[in-house]
Amino acid sequence: MATEYFDFNGTYYTIDFDALTKIVVTPMSEENKTIVETETTSYFDEEDEELQTQFITREYPRNQEFDLPKFEVLKFILSVVLEYHEETDSKLGMKRAVEEMPLNFKIAFNTLLQYGIIKEITE
């Protein structure tokens, strides 16, 4: 059974979640995969002379980090593209409809297309 897609001027598009993730997730280098925390405790006698110093080191795995400015911009331009709604007159043609689209939609769509977040479906 073939999948049916919605047509956008004869082309079918989808959002590539892997491309989106690749842009917003900050890559971790090998030396940054863990967080090392060292706690120092010093023990003193009644005359404030140091008796002993104890060091405790803890190591934790680092969580995935996101590039927040990139995430916010991508969220915004995705909303521009996904929330755009304008009635078009099919009698005037698609070229005319595209020409009348607002600049923010055109820039958002082109940016998502350039970075591979919006991809053309080819089957």
Q: What domain count does the chain have?
A: 1
In a domain, 46, yes or no: no
CA pair distance 94, 86, nearest whole angstrom: 13
In a domain, 37, yes or no: no
Give pLDDT tens digits for 21-61.
999 998 877 777 888 899 999 999 988 888 899 999 999 98
pTM of the entire structure? 0.64
Range of the domain at 23: 13-30+64-120
Whether the Cβ atoms of residue 56 and residue 39 lie closer than 8 Å to each other: yes
Give pLDDT tens digits for 59-115.
998 888 889 999 999 999 999 988 887 776 666 666 777 777 888 988 999 999 999
In a domain, 97, yes or no: yes
In a domain, 112, yes or no: yes
